[in-house]
Chain A
């Protein structure tokens, strides 16, 4: 097999290389070593230079310039397009906004096959096999990925990174393209100060679609009050306008690690699990016993949450009184 490049698209969180990117680099090296390929990391913005200086990659391409300081779909895609070449064996990107945005479009532009929502990538007898989580986490698909040019998007947290791996990649600079059709007007930082910070709470009473009606949020508020916790939620509750975005747990919301995460009426879509699976103790209540939330919860019940919330609040209040 001809030597090719495994390209990892890097992301940064709060100025540091994102954990999800470190995970990609760890697996990229495993695959590259076994298949006789090299690893290239592509990072964006002038601040990225320090972040990739010591990662375990053979080459680091720094896309520099003001137009890539913040994620920008058009400039990022065009810059990556210039990095890809005939010897690209695999492009790995996390299943974040950037991955959702660029993975499929790069694959289509380059006419490469793509596997989305990967949770595992292993070489089996020289064939790269991806496990993809589909149908809301209810099914897995096992798919062969040709190492002759393919794109994979990987769900963060799917495997651990190896912090002991260090390297001295050859740094190559590439000027960022200017946007032609898409103008970044402003970045809106995460809401803070106007509401409680759910990442600081010891106990989260988190509600999902099972809350059914905004009037039922009062039950969650009363339970949170009785239990000494804070109400958080999954995406559909925010999309319905029932709770503010500052309360949202998951991929596009907050990542939380409370002492207790009480998931009420939350099915456990992969995007939600991404934001809460590392909580110390997860108790899930959902009337669908097949709900994926039970696969990450420590304790579970199929009780009706609309009955449970007031009953639990009453017991807690009576106990305290």
Chain B
């Protein structure tokens, strides 16, 4: 079973998001792997360990994605692929999906995993966009992915805690909501070690026309309401909570 994990990095929400002239200023931002892609990678590695598989990880060269790819190798991925070309940080998901789909057409993957979503999915989620471009069977909001007898079994979450178990023929593409276990941690020392010995395969990508959106502006929302803030004094906050519970007659005794 050959599994390809599609990954991208996104601005770290721990940082302040700066907007200049209606555009998100990406230049000085720190980028981190999209947390759902990390979940997809973990699920692929668990399948490899438990059921046997070759795990490839692929990312598009929109900046410094090497660290993300080496980290994936350090975690246990077998091969890393960087889709290279003249790509900017502002690459849209439609463009990303096109590049990933072109790569996958020759990658002979049995199973493609990627995150169910990312924080910057303005023009659609990668899983659905790539699956639609390739015309392969797919499902999103997925967890508990297993492989057996050339088929893929998984759970798809509906709303309200309801779920369904599916079995898919390969090739299949799944948008992973969560891995069976939290994503593993690797030390920086191990990543550095892999950087010295590991290799990233470069594959040329060519951008062609994709549907575009006219984005008028990006802005920080002005909340219709905002909490009345109490500050950070623990005693004071506790007293305020008790007072509110008393007002609502919800305290016992």
Contact = CB atoms under 8 A, between A and B. Distances in A.
Contacts of A142: 215-219
Interface residues on A, range: 35 or more
A308 B239 CA distance: 11
B203 interface: no
A116 B121 contact: yes
A21 to B, nearest CB: 12
A193 B119 CA distance: 35
Contact of A140 (B130, B168, B219, B253): B219
Contacts of B105: none
A191 B162 CA distance: 8
Interface string B115-139: 0110111111111111111010111
Max chain B Cβ within 10 angstroms of own Cβ: one of A116, A129, A315: A116
B169 interface: yes
Interface string A282-312: 1111010110001111111111100110011
Interface string B145-164: 00000000101111111111
A320 B213 CA distance: 59
A65 B228 CA distance: 52
A156 B134 CA distance: 29
B220 interface: yes
Contacts, number: 296
Interface string B95-129: 00100000000000000000011011111111111
A114 to B, nearest CB: 4
Contacts of B189: none
Contacts of A319: 242, 251, 253
Say what secondary structure dominates the interface of chain A. mixed
B225 to A, nearest CB: 7
Interface string B52-68: 00000000000000000
A240 B39 CA distance: 11
B76 interface: no
Nearest to A129: B216
B30 interface: no
A289 B158 CA distance: 32
B219 A260 contact: no
B178 A239 contact: yes
Interface stretch (B1-9, B77-85, B230-238): B230-238
A183 B120 CA distance: 32
A308 B217 CA distance: 40
A300 B141 CA distance: 31
A143 interface: yes
B228 A298 contact: yes
A184 interface: yes
Given A135-B11, A298-B228, A187 B162 contact: yes
Given A140-B219, A320-B251, 9 more contacts: A97-B140, A102-B128, A113-B94, A114-B124, A135-B11, A142-B217, A184-B165, A202-B250, A311-B238
Interface of A: 13, 70-71, 73-74, 96-97, 100-109, 111-117, 129, 132-145, 151, 180-191, 202-203, 227-228, 235, 238-241, 245-246, 248, 251-255, 259-260, 262, 280-285, 287, 289-290, 294-304, 307-308, 311-312, 315-316, 319-320
7 contacts: A114-B123, A134-B119, A145-B213, A182-B166, A190-B162, A301-B229, A301-B231
